[in-house]
Amino acid sequence: MPHLIAPSLLSANFLNLGDDIEMINRSDADWIHLDIMDGVFVPNLSFGFPVIEQIAKKARKPLDVHLMIIDPDRYISRFRDYGAALITVHYETCHHLHRTTEAIKKSGAKAGVALNPHTPVSMLTDIAQDVDLILIMSVNPGFGGQKFIFQSYEKIMKLKELRDQKACGFLIEVDGGVDLLNGHKLIETGADVLVAGNAIFRSPNPAETIHQMKILG
């Protein structure tokens, strides 16, 4: 399967957010990535529901919603109501991860689980067959523009091995410091979905950068 590109709106120009969404709509991007932060699990705040509602009205690509929040179960149905096609929660915030991912799937969205850089892939052995996506954080979550953590390549390889061993169908997504320089190696290592923020929105031609990322590999 060709790899997917999910531009992260966290790095977009919030004064011209509608224009940036339209650019993504017209581009070769596959999904629109939304980082939802609560200022508790991560030291930052991002999109609230009024903004998400407007994004959903404008977006013509599936919304890939990444919940960097505590107690995500409280909000699953609401994010789905606002059009989330994929909802990813953090392993580190879920007391009953299987119950949470089942609730996501019951809502009609695809279910994902994210791992912080310090969390080993082995923590997902017992749930790998029950999710649609696993997100490897290749930076510490909370801020855009951070430097890629090179140990992430090894985690992707271990995750790919786990997928093969379990005969699972989940996609491997990578978020953090992803750009045109490391994108090829990420795909070669086993990544299926590349999330990119600054690499796209700080480039002179974001749509062309998305295209270049799409044809990597």
Q: Which of 132, 175, 179, 192 is catalytic?
A: 175
Q: Which of 30, 35, 64, 132 is catalytic?
A: 35
Q: How far is the C-alpha of 20 from the C-alpha of 25, rounded, in Å? A: 9
Q: Is 192 a catalytic residue?
A: no
54: number of Cβ within 10 Å: 15
Cα 189 → chain centroid: 18
Q: Is 175 a catalytic residue?
A: yes
Q: Give the active site residues.
A: 35, 175
